[in-house]
């Protein structure tokens, strides 16, 4: 079967390349979110949340970071901990792979009580192997902990590119399969103490939840994704690390 898949991929390669070029040319280039990349919600003992990653952490598709993934994650944590002041910090680079995040963003991470890593789309688009992606994620975890201590780390599931409305078939199917493979590799890192994986369930981001480029989440998409992630963050923050936080499909 593996040989057959490689043969079929070889046959469809010209179509995939042509589709990729058309998508790149036709997709609007949206800016990252504006406004502060950090903020606070609530009062009480501080609960420090750092989110690090690619364009979704940069807030592409939302007007401000408060409306994007990090800000909405902070809302979820503040709801779960009404007696805490949730201090959030978004560190994102549009177009970043895991290696870029390791080199350019991890050195900027400050002391935190929980770190959420949001990556995988650009590694998928760049056709990085699952082994390379896992290796780079592991390096991020190790380096973050070397810098700020034994902080719990949450790996957000790689978004399933098979559900991205901007991608035509068969390109959508090929990239969707690659994103699943990278996400599967990320899940193996939950064998490490204090590392949790929270999947992005296929179908969670419906077509109406995407931004104008039909590739990044819009505000509704960020709220839905943050709500799914927020179900697992209190578990981790309370010192429990189930490895995989499962959600109904």
Domain ranges for the chain, please list them.
36-237
Question: Any idea which fold 36-237 has?
Answer: Rossmann fold (3.40.50)
Question: Is the pLDDT higher at 8 or at 150?
Answer: 150
Query: Considering only CA atoms, which of 53, 60, 58, 52 is closest in space to residue 27?
Result: 60
pLDDT, position 218:
95
- Give the Cα separation of 238 and 147 in Å (integer): 22
Average of per-residue pLDDT values in the chain: 87
| Alpha carbon 108 to chain centroid, angstroms | 18
Omega cis (within 30) before 170: yes
pLDDT tens per residue across span 164-210: 898 877 888 889 999 999 999 999 999 999 999 999 988 888 888 99
Q: What is the mean pLDDT of residues 43-49?
A: 96
Instruction: Supply the pLDDT for residue 1.
Output: 40
């Amino acid at each position: 079967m593996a040989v057959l898949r490689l043969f079929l991929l070889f046959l469809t390669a010209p179509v995939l390349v042509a589709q990729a070029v058309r998508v790149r040319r036709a997709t609007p280039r949206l800016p990252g979110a504006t406004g502060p990349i950090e903020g606070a919600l609530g009062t009480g003992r501080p609960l420090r949340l750092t989110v690090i990653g690619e364009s979704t952490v940069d807030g592409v598709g939302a007007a401000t970071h408060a409306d994007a993934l990090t800000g909405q994650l902070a809302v979820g944590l503040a709801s779960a901990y009404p007696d805490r002041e949730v201090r959030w910090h978004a560190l994102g680079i549009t177009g970043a792979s895991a290696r870029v995040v390791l080199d350019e963003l991890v050195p900027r991470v400050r002391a935190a009580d929980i770190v959420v890593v949001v990556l995988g789309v650009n590694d998928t688009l760049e056709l990085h192997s699952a082994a390379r992606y896992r290796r780079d994620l592991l390096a991020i975890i190790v380096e973050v902990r070397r810098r700020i201590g034994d902080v719990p780390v949450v790996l957000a599931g790689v978004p399933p590119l098979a559900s991205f409305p901007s991608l035509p078939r068969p390109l959508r199917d090929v990239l969707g399969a690659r994103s699943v493979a990278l996400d599967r590799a990320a899940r193996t890192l939950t064998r490490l103490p204090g590392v949790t994986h929270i999947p992005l369930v296929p179908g969670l981001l419906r077509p109406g939840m995407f931004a104008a480029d039909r590739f990044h989440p819009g505000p509704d998409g960020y709220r839905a994704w943050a709500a799914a992630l927020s179900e697992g963050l209190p578990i981790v923050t309370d010192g429990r690390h189930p490895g995989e936080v499962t959600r109904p499909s």
